[in-house]
Structure 1
Amino acid sequence: MTEILLIRHGETAWNAIKKLQGHLDIPLNAIGTRQAKALAAALQGEPLDAIFSSDLQRAVQTAGEIARLQRLSTRIDDQLRERCFGGFEGMLYSELPQRYPDAYATWRSHDPDSNFPPSADNNIGESIRQFQLRTISAITHHAQQFAGKKIAIVAHGGVLECAYRAAKNLPLHAPREITIYNASINRFQWDGEQLQLLQWGDIRHLETAETLDEFNQDKAA
């Protein structure tokens, strides 16, 4: 069995105003930095064998705080990136129904094979099916590399949702049924064939550090 601590990055300025980030590389804000430090302190007494991170800086910064106290280096993997949302990226959630009514309705329907309006560089993003395959392949690859050990993976809300769906065997078209907190600890294990969920949404370290604010729920990815 490999134990996996799957962690969402700390808060960014765009999270706080519900602006969709996707592949756009937004850093932590001051709250997010405090959250990352509180997270690292909470895990300091829990030795890790490796720390992996998405290559986007909000994840790298969060992972770096953990790595510093664990005396490990952060292993960067771009396959742990957030989902690419094409032309939706950089927009407020509230703007999407007016700007792209049909595409927004399709997105909210959870069609597993739908894409997005193209971005300025003609990127149509990823379907749910493509995103799930990419992220679960990355997670299970690292778990297999460190079979029998404990690893941390710092990534994004969408990546955590993919892992939850895989562990619960939920269909791709099923609506989200969970809250995904910034800087939360979510515990899984990998038995060589299946992800299993052990604990979801541990944010006690944030409450103690008084860094959990009213917006720190289900914000833009």
Structure 2
Amino acid sequence: MLETNIVLIRHGETAWNAERRLQGHIDIALNAEGQRQAAALAAALAGEDIDAIVASDLQRALQTAQAVAGARGVQVQTDPALRERCYGGFEGLLYAEIAERFPLEFARWQARDIDALMPSGARSAESFRQFYVRSVDAILGWAAAYPGQSIALVAHGGVLECAYRAATGLPLETPRHFAVLNASINRFTVANGKLRLVSWGGVAHLAPRVHDELA
């Protein structure tokens, strides 16, 4: 039984993360804080053996992955199956705006109706169940491509949530009781097609450097 090690990473912060504007498939770049987080993440992982780095093709994930790739000489591979959930007409709106414009759909979303669909916008929305299957299949597919090796997958908050639920058996309908943090380090293993959670939410590397006030 060959076990694949996965470092699953949420992209660094964007301006839309900071203001709670729903991104989905809209392609938003890292902000200055996100770039700092990506550099800190790269430094934290510099000593690890990583055989492949794969990112969502949205630039916030790709930029984060490229920071990790750095001087390793590893080419970042991209996979649209690692994208965030598509939220259709909700995308680009603040949470308060969604609640005002689409009260019924917003209520179903907040009630964790996993088969509910948002109104279509520039793209057709996915239900949470559809998104979960896509995300977990993508993660397991990359694990199968690198049996017995170590890979880094850089994705989005929703993808991380799906991985956590798959690894712990947490039902999709239950509220999310765990944090999903920008530029966090989350470790899993995959053996026999099953995800196992090793550690979650590592962010010690993101603490600002402490300066001596007398220096």
**TM-score, normalization: structure 1?**
0.92
For residue 189 of structure 1, what is the aligned residue in structure 2? 189
For residue 204 of structure 1, what is the aligned residue in structure 2? 204
For residue 217 of structure 1, what is the aligned residue in structure 2? none
Q: Find the partner of 2:19 among 17, 20, 26.
A: 17
Q: What amino acid is the match of 1:99? A: R
Q: Structure 2: which 5+ runs fail to align?
A: 211-215
For residue 160 of structure 1, what is the aligned residue in structure 2? 160
Alignment of 1:75 onto 2:51? no
Query: Is the contact made by 1:7 and 1:184 (CA closer than 8 Å) also made in structure 2?
Result: yes
Distance 1:106 1:124 in 2: 17
Distance 2:4 2:72 in 1: 18
Distance 2:71 2:153 in 1: 15
Query: Is the contact made by 1:19 and 1:93 (CA closer than 8 Å) also made in structure 2?
Result: yes
For residue 114 of structure 1, what is the aligned residue in structure 2? 116
Distance 2:23 2:16 in 1: 7
Query: Is the contact made by 1:83 and 1:131 (CA closer than 8 Å) also made in structure 2?
Result: yes
Within-5 A mapping of 1:92-107? 92-107=94-109
Q: What amino acid is the match of 1:147? A: P
* 2:23 counterpart SS class: coil
Alignment of 1:131 onto 2:123? no
* 1:26 counterpart SS class: coil
* 1:91 counterpart SS class: coil
Q: What amino acid is the match of 1:104? A: F
* 2:207 counterpart SS class: helix
TM-superposed deviation, 1:208: 4.6
Q: Find the partner of 1:84 among 83, 86, 91.
A: 86
Distance 1:141 1:208 in 2: 36
* 1:141 counterpart SS class: helix
Query: Is the contact made by 1:41 and 1:69 (CA closer than 8 Å) also made in structure 2?
Result: no
Q: What amino acid is the match of 1:74? A: V
* 2:200 counterpart SS class: strand
Alignment of 1:51 onto 2:53? yes
Q: Structure 1: which 5+ runs fail to align?
A: 211-221
* Runs of 4+ more than 2 Å apart: none
String of CA shifts for 1:162-217, please: whole Å, max 9, x gaps: 0000001111111111101100000000012210000000001001547xxxxxxx
Q: What amino acid is the match of 2:115? A: D
TM-superposed deviation, 1:124: 3.4
For residue 39 of structure 2, what is the aligned residue in structure 1? 37
Q: What amino acid is the match of 1:164? A: Y
Q: What amino acid is the match of 1:185? A: I
String of CA shifts for 1:2-35, please: whole Å, max 9, x gaps: 0000000000010010000000000000000010
Distance 2:159 2:90 in 1: 18
- Overall identity of the aligned pairs, in %: 54
Alignment of 1:28 onto 2:35? no
Structure of greater Rg = 2
